[in-house]
Chains A and B, each alone.
Chain A
Amino acid sequence: MENQKIFDEMWGTEDSLREPYRKFQTWFDSEDPARLRKKQRDAEELFRLTGITFNVYGKAEAEERLIPFDIVPRIISGSEWFRLSRGIEQRVRAINAFLHDIYHKQEIVKAGRIPKEMISQNEAFLPHMIGVEPPGGVYTHIVGIDLVRTGPGEFFVLEDNARTPSGVSYMLENRETMLQMFPELFSQNRVQPVSNYPTDLRRSLAACAPPACEGKPVVAVLTPGIYNSAYFEHAFLADKMGVELVEGHDLRVVDGRVAMRTTRGYRPIDVLYRRVDDEYLDPLNFNPDSALGVPGIMDVYRAGGITIANAPGTGISDDKAIYSYMPEIVEFYTGERPLLQNVQTWRCSEPDALAYVLDNLEELVVKEVHGSGGYGMLIGPTATKKDLAAFRRKLKARPGNYIAQPTLALSTVPIFSRAGLSPRHVDLRPFVLCSPGKVDITPGGLTRVALKKGSLVVNSSQGGGTKDTWVLED
């Protein structure tokens, strides 16, 4: 990838300022770097005080960490966004249609567009969802589509997060912080707001109320508890939506509904935005050792007594092997050409693909089919000989567990470093809300940035930071 020209979103490939950054650049040049450095520290202090921290897996409770925040915004023009959001909407509609089909007639399999084994041998396929009509027809109420960019008009989908995508609280708090720190920037640039997200989320959840709902739908957020790495986000969303934040032991099946224990007795919940994985959701039907879930909630769900968001079993659509079929899936259900490109993907379960991957391991990125968070992946170009050898063994032992992709020349956006503006690789996770017949995409999303020079890993657990993401009104 050394010979590829990296696209910088501020300076392009030819070192000429791109239009969306024009006003920002003027402002930046007139600023005193010392003042900016102080602002950067202030921002950190603000994050710490508001408690926007994440817990690190396997660490003591005291280990609450901040995700580093960079004050240079990532700026996208309105027309760029318009094209992007049409592609996202198309993809999310296809994902919902796919999920409905997979748990009903499986037309796409019958039509031979994807092999039966992709479903029948997929751990993420949840038999309990067969035949279920989710209220409002929505499976994925909240989706995060991970995108990367390689050129002015070239966006690729890296991953579809259709289970419980996280990070939206950072999107909102990053904007809040920028507004407080640099109000002048927002009067110079017309930035599309993101602050409606919690209201939209509540509205779209309420729009999917179950048949048993009487009157105004009662919405609640289910969290695994305060030790969960994303607890802050769970509390944040419940707070901004003005709904209860519940844990499994607050809930119980009462009179055929899932009800929460209040100071005045049990009160039924209509829509549960759960941030607990399928496996732990219902000890009666799934993992009996789970203390995080609600015994019998799946039964109530099947009987039409509650809406679970996202629906159980949506994991099958963000499986990385299924991902490789997304272009077919989009075409099959929408009858249109996919507007967003997939990254070329080798399914190691196929012998030819495996052979290619083993021969070209140094140039590829290898991922686990069910992995997430940047764990269990290999980045060929930066891997050590030892890592490569270890992955060769893993690939041969369980080829079906892996896919491989080319190493993309991810775009960069400057961060504010000691040396001034320095380019770093970024990705983008826009957040999408689905309600009956409607798809809402918040303009922008979460930009994650690899703070280490040259690094392509943007995950917060591995040294990534975040940026405010602006979509301009053109």
Chain B
Amino acid sequence: MLGKTANGLFWMSRYLERAENTARLIETGQRIALTRLGSGEEEWIPVLQSAGSLDGFHDAYETPGQEAAVDWMLRGRDNPSSIMACIASARQNARLVRTAITGEVWEAVNATYMMARELLARKVSERDLPAVLAAIRQNTALVRGMIHGTMLRNDIYDFLRIGTFLERADNTARILDVKYYVLLPSVSAIGSSIDNVQWESILRSVSARGGFRMEYGSEGGPQEIAHFLIFDKRMPRSLAFCVGKIKDNLRYLNASQPKPSQSQKLVTHLETAYLSHGIDQVFEYGLHEFIEKMLELLGDLAGQIQLDYRFYE
């Protein structure tokens, strides 16, 4: 496979995953805004941060409130992480790798793009927002389904999967990075309703409320949430799950080689050094420091994969 093609596959799936995650973050932000009084700008700052969309936001709008934040993340013209921009980039990459993906996958990506262009052509009203976000999530899921159902399990598939899980791990880590403080043990506010809303928002933003309830009933607190999102290998958006998948796909890619690749070494290090312990050690290490470290290592890993597989000259 061409290095350029590996690059295109990797980014096509990363951008699709990013679009979907941003849709989920907007939903969560909207939910918090609805369940609480007032909908000031400050509540949207963490959401924008998690979505990697804070840069340039304040310059783009005169009144940077909720409406502006949602519009910016959906379709902000100068926001390279907006859902529209991500879907357009995903399609651009799909065009680039058109010969590597099946016609079904290409058509699903193209249909997602055509849908997004139509739905996001103008500002989305609050009334239409839930339906628009649902449509985006359904379409990106459809692409994933097409990949799952029509693509050969070869190196093409591996690069698609690696892109998906790197982006997903990154997203989960960023959510934790922005909200880590609500998960810290604190004397004063334990069990307060504010915390409950915050915890729920974290779970909601990774579509994990149901799963968490199934595991922990109503007993779970911040420790359990942190454990669930970092270590639980059954939870498809946890760091451990995503890193495990990346590790598998890197192994398949390298199957014919006698020695492990540099990226395999990095992912193994990441897993053994940081994802093989208990949540207690994480809090001991410092939750914030731990998450920062994870983000750094995920970045390094992405860089090493680019090098190992000659994405660029």
Contact = CB atoms under 8 A, between A and B. Distances in A.
Given A226-B96, A249-B313, 9 more contacts: A51-B98, A51-B106, A51-B110, A235-B95, A246-B2, A250-B2, A250-B4, A263-B1, A263-B155
Interface stretch (A89-97, A237-245, A283-291): A237-245
A235 B93 CA distance: 13
B240 to A, nearest CB: 27
A247 B98 contact: no
Contacts of A239: 98-99
Interface residues of B, number: 22
Which secondary structure dominates where chain B touches chain A?
Answer: helix
B110 A244 contact: no
Contact of B110 (A49, A243, A246): A49
Interface in A45-104: 48-51
Contacts of B98: 51, 235-236, 239, 245
B176 interface: no
Contact of B310 (A226, A236, A238, A262): A262
A49 B107 contact: yes
Given A49-B111, A246-B2, A261 B99 contact: no
Nearest to B6: A263
A65 to B, nearest CB: 14
A231 interface: yes
Interface in B252-303: 253
A247 B4 contact: yes
B95 A265 contact: no
Which secondary structure dominates where chain A touches chain B?
Answer: mixed
B3 A245 contact: no
Interface in A258-281: 260-263, 265
Contacts of A261: 2-4, 310, 313
B114 A250 contact: no
Interface in A207-228: 226
29 contacts: A49-B107, A49-B110, A49-B111, A49-B114, A51-B98, A51-B107, A51-B110, A226-B95, A226-B96, A235-B98, A235-B99, A236-B98, A238-B99, A239-B99, A244-B5, A244-B99, A246-B2, A246-B4, A249-B313, A250-B4, A260-B2, A261-B3, A261-B4, A261-B313, A262-B1, A263-B3, A263-B309, A263-B310, A265-B310
Nearest to B310: A261
B211 interface: no
Given A49-B110, A239-B98, A263-B155, A250 B103 contact: no
A244 B2 contact: yes
B92 interface: yes
B135 to A, nearest CB: 16
A49 B139 CA distance: 14
A50 B104 CA distance: 9
Contacts of A51: 95, 98, 106-107, 110
A260 B1 CA distance: 9
Contacts of B114: 48-49
Nearest to A249: B313
A151 to B, nearest CB: 42
Contacts of B6: 263
Contacts of A236: 98
A257 to B, nearest CB: 16
Nearest to B95: A226
A103 to B, nearest CB: 33
Contacts of A244: 2, 5, 99
Contacts of B4: 246-247, 249-250, 261
A231 B95 contact: yes
A50 B95 contact: no
Interface in B94-135: 95-96, 98-99, 103, 106-107, 110-111, 114
